[in-house]
């Protein structure tokens, strides 16, 4: 599902124009992204939590030259933890249909 698919579906359900829905959806995504970029946690009840985690520095290996160590610096990454309702719905999927 793409952002466009979300806009179309919400537009059909709310009877708002697609342009109006697109502004709201884009504004929502921009607000979430800005908050996470500042290091804030964004918690959306029944949906999930976006938060910033710091990965420790580590040593990696170059597959083309396994003897060579490659230092990987510490960095911040965005993590998403699904909410209870979403997690329960995903668990209901059979492993065969999960990728479809």
pLDDT in tens, 36-91: 999 999 999 989 999 999 999 999 988 888 888 889 999 999 999 999 999 999 99
| SS3 at position 44 | strand
Total Cβ atoms within 10 A of residue 19:
9
pLDDT at 49: 96
| SS3 at position 30 | helix
Structure token digits, residue 3: 């952002």
pLDDT at 98: 53
Structure token digits, residue 49: 């939590």
pLDDT at 97: 57
* 40 contacts: CB under 8 Å, gap ≥ 6: 52
pLDDT higher than 90, residue 100: no
pLDDT at 4: 96
pLDDT at 99: 55
The fold adopted by the segment(s) 43-93 is HU Protein; Chain A (4.10.520)
pLDDT higher than 80, residue 17: yes
Structure token digits, residue 64: 């083309």
């Amino acid at each position: 599902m793409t952002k466009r698919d979300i806009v179309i579906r919400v537009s059909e359900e709310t009877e708002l124009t697609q342009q109006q829905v697109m502004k709201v959806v884009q504004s929502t995504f921009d607000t979430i992204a800005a908050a996470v970029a500042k290091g804030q946690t964004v918690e959306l009840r029944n949906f999930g939590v976006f938060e910033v985690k710091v990965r420790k520095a580590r040593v990696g290996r170059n597959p083309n030259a396994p003897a060579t160590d490659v230092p990987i610096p510490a960095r911040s990454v965005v993590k998403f933890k699904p909410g209870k309702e979403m997690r329960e719905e995903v668990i209901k999927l059979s492993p065969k249909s999960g990728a479809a």
